[in-house]
Amino acid sequence: MFYEGTEKRLEIITTEMNLLQLPDSFWQQMVEQADAFIISKIENSQLKAYLLSESSLFVWHNKLLLITCGNTHLVKAAQFFQKQFDKRVIQSLLFHRHQAHLPELQKSSFSQDTVLLKTHLQGKTKHWHGNYRGDLFLFGETPTGAVKTKQILMLHGLCGDFSCSLQSGSASQQLIASRLAVLGFFPCLRIDQFTFSPKGYSLNALAGDQYLTLHITPEKLSTYLSVESSFEAQVMQPFNEHLHALFRPQKSNLMSFIDDSDQGLKITVSSAMRNP
């Protein structure tokens, strides 16, 4: 059975409410709307990080970031949140879909999702075509400093012995953690990780209000790894280089989120380094 590794992302910034005060049961209901469930949680006074059956959920005081993969229906989670609170509570909403490897297996298309989103919120769309393909819907204006995400690294076509062991399901969680060496690059992080059966791996990590999340889908038809974080590019670069050397991807894209005080949120995509 094919499993879709590429993600969908929902990012909501709120006003006049503290999302950290909402109970776990609320987030469980919201995640279930997207056909996923919570596996575990780590938290501190500034951030809650939920590891999901289909990726991750992060909750700050005035912001949430829900990332899902597989055949999830993320727009349903967005609609759930919209129905729970007054429209004025939502300062901005960003709904983002990377191009699926097999889009025909998804429960909806981006255009269908935007029709549903626009029943409550009127926003603008952006589309990428070329080496990276994806679509984005944005409602409202993101206040300066509110966007936590700094970059998303996407590696496709993973190669090498370690990738083969992941595809066969023979790599233990201890081996995966050792080869990824997240704590070697970021010793300040508190991590939560899960190895799926028969294969697949997810990791959430936090330090203060900073986050990092990493997901590996060793699907033979489309081996894929993504790592997303709130750390600056110069902090992430050594780890990104390590991942390229470890997995030798056939294709690599780096999405950068630039918080411009004059022009607002800018999102750019570049082709990251490739190993020969």
Task: Reduce the secondary structure of 1-29 to three states and give it as a string.
Answer: CCCCCCCEEEEEEECCCCHHHCCHHHHHH
Distance CA 97, CA 119 (A): 19
- Asked if pLDDT for residue 31 goes beyond 70, the answer is yes
What is the CATH number that goes with domain 8-271? Answer: 3.60.90.10
Write phi, then psi, for 183 (nearest 5 degrees): -70, -20
- Asked if pLDDT for residue 87 goes beyond 60, the answer is yes
- Contact assessment for residue 229 and residue 212, using Cβ atoms and an 8 Å cutoff: yes
- Asked if pLDDT for residue 275 goes beyond 70, the answer is no
Non-local CB neighbours of 216 within 8 Å, separated by 6+ positions: 5, 158, 166, 176, 200, 201, 202, 224, 225
Q: How confident is the model at residue 16 (pLDDT cuts 50, 70, 90)?
A: confident
Tell me if the pTM is above 0.85.
Answer: yes
pLDDT in tens, 96-120: 999 998 889 899 999 999 999 999 8
- Contact assessment for residue 217 and residue 3, using Cβ atoms and an 8 Å cutoff: yes
What are the residues facing 235 on neighbouring strands?
none
Output the pLDDT for position 189.
Answer: 98
More confident residue, 3 or 50: 50
Q: Domain residues of the chain, as ranges?
A: 8-271
